[in-house]
Structure 1
Amino acid sequence: MEKFTTLTGVAAPLPIINIDTDMIIPKQYLKTIKRTGLGTALFAEMRYDESGNENPDFVLNKPAYREASIIVAGDNFGCGSSREHAPWALKDFGVRCVISTSFADIFYNNCFKNGILPIAVSEEQLNALMDDAERGANATLTVDLEAQTIKGPDGGEIHFDIDPSRKQALLEGLDDIGLTLEKADTISTFETRLDADRPWV
């Protein structure tokens, strides 16, 4: 998994509450188990019209936000069904960080497993970041995971909290499998001892 240390990128404003996983990646795109190729389907029902043409009013279709790597969104982001395709689609599009006041638990956990940093901030902080994100070509934020800060285009800084173990896993680029493999020697030692002590198991 790709490490997350410091991210400087364009932040797209998405001031909608209760953005569910079906909005992030509609159900018709769930037939694949590949983690790539889903970026074009991200927010498909908002990004495209019935003929498949881009909706020019949707934020990610606007020139300033086509390369957005950060999304600043309304409360309760990622609610709904527990589809892991949602963080896959965000990551494939190029989004590495989502900032909101709150996240659905399963989506929040899935983000960490896929190298995406979900940051929960206060309503006041979100309003300030949403204002920054609405600056178009100047909507650049810097997220420093080690320092746990978000810096705005005017130099303002916000501190955020994160579980230390999740932070370390992202900094090192370790998903659940990677974290398990780090303990391979300990596991092997245990299995060897178990075979000697209880050979009938």
Structure 2
Amino acid sequence: MTAEAPAGPAEEPAEPGGGVAAGRFWSERRGPAALVAVVLMGASGLLLYDVVSVRAGRPAASWRRTLADDLAARPLDDAWVVVAAAAAVLAGVWLIVLAVTPGLRGLLPMRRDSELMRPGIERGAAAAVLRHRALEVSGVRSVRVNVGRRRVRALAEAHFRELDVVHADLDAVLTHGIRELGLARQPALSVHVRRPPRR
């Protein structure tokens, strides 16, 4: 379980119960931001240095003259021009997607009682808690729990008792367990019970 200071693109409205609405956690995207900043800073610094050198009376750098001549001579349908344009478009789309999506899909927001803290729980931890609860149900031999943002899926194997009875007990126990997790958005529950395969 984690707790962080509020983060997000906008103020969050109050919940009907008096608490503060808990939106998804937004990733800080430090890696992509640092990469873009370093590339742009390096390219801008190199170009600025060459422009200042030309203004000071020195000849332009050979790489800039070669690049200008090459760009002036190549047609727009040249393979290298198309590849470079496609790479620039893909990089731009990637950056836009990173800017408008929250990220941190593995961290589920929990209900907030204060604006100062944002509690959250990792999906793996939530799945472990629910799996432990499910194994306490009589007749359950093994169970696999997958916790998503909108749905919790449980697949159990029952080696005795009727499958319908085990299913009903599992449904009740997991529903109560999900409620006790205190998630901001209550996920739907899907329970499947089967007999273990014969060997």
Structure with bigger RCO (C-alpha 8 Å, 6+ apart): 1
State which structure, 1 or 2, has the greater radius of gyration over its C-alpha atoms. 2
TM-score for both structures, normalised by structure 1: 0.21
